[in-house]
Amino acid sequence: MSARSKAGRRLEPTPWHTVGPYFGITVNGTNSIRSIAPPDAKGERVKLVCAVFDRDGKCVPDTLIEIWQANADGKYNHPADTQDKPLDPGFAGFGRQITDENGECEFETIKPGRVPGPRGPLQAPHLEVGIFTRGVMKHLVTRIYFSGDAGNEDCPVLGLLPKARRATLMAQQIAGKPGAWRHEIYLSGPKETVFFDI
């Protein structure tokens, strides 16, 4: 039985499509934030390359990646963080970039300090990541940890994941480039990154 409009006309189903994204058009200039930590920020300097892939390993351009992080002392620049730790002047702890035609973007920051977990124990240094991309109606939330960091072993959040899946959250050092890291995000498929339901 066909549906009909109030005017009595027959309504035909139309194909479903996602709209956009068109981040490359709208996120640029002051909206695009490559430097999360200013040059004089306290802490170990990090250059982070993020790369986004689909289930077949093909790069995904025009993906918006947003990063939030604590400063080197493990404090977020946000009123909700009431820890008695110092704020770093000029450190906002936020970055936003669009992936290029190779599915990559780059951030400059510092390695964050450890912050308390939900029940008190310290979490390993990590970056909070939001991903907005084509075909995904709701943004994805994940984290980036640093491979080989001593805090990974007793991180209460990493401890919730099977060991085999933890690797999907680990940035790897780029050989021959001190302070340079690369993190690959797979949206689906056998290498799918762990995403958090928040």
Q: Is residue 28 part of a domain?
A: no
Q: Is residue 27 part of a domain?
A: no
Say how many domains are in the chain: 1
The predicted pLDDT at position 115 comes to: 96
How many angstroms separate the CA atoms of 2 and 19, rounded? 27
Q: Is residue 4 part of a domain?
A: no
Q: Is residue 194 part of a domain?
A: no
Q: Is residue 47 part of a domain?
A: yes
CA gyration radius for the chain? 20
CATH of the domain at 110: 2.60.130.10
Q: What does pLDDT average to in each consecutive run of 10 residues of the chain (198 residues)?
A: 60 61 70 92 97 96 96 95 92 94 97 91 97 88 97 95 96 96 96 93
Q: Is residue 127 part of a domain?
A: yes
Q: Would you give the distance in Å from CA 28 to the centre of its chain? A: 18
Q: Would you give the distance in Å from CA 24 to the centre of its chain? A: 17
Amino acid at 146: F
The predicted pLDDT at position 196 comes to: 94
How many angstroms separate the CA atoms of 78 and 107, rounded? 20
The predicted pLDDT at position 1 comes to: 43
pTM equals: 0.87
Q: Is residue 19 part of a domain?
A: no
The predicted pLDDT at position 30 comes to: 76
Name the nearest CA neighbour of 58 among 105, 106, 104, 107: 104
Q: Is residue 31 part of a domain?
A: no
How many angstroms separate the CA atoms of 66 and 58, rounded? 21
How many angstroms separate the CA atoms of 76 and 68, rounded? 8
How many angstroms separate the CA atoms of 76 and 85, rounded? 9
How many angstroms separate the CA atoms of 22 and 75, rounded? 33
DSSP symbols for 63-105: -EEEEE---TTS--SSTT---S----TT---EEEEE--TTSEE
> What tokens appear for 121 in the block?
């124990």
The predicted pLDDT at position 146 comes to: 98
> What tokens appear for 151 in the block?
């805090």
How many angstroms separate the CA atoms of 193 and 186, rounded? 5
What is the domain extent for residue 157? Answer: 42-186
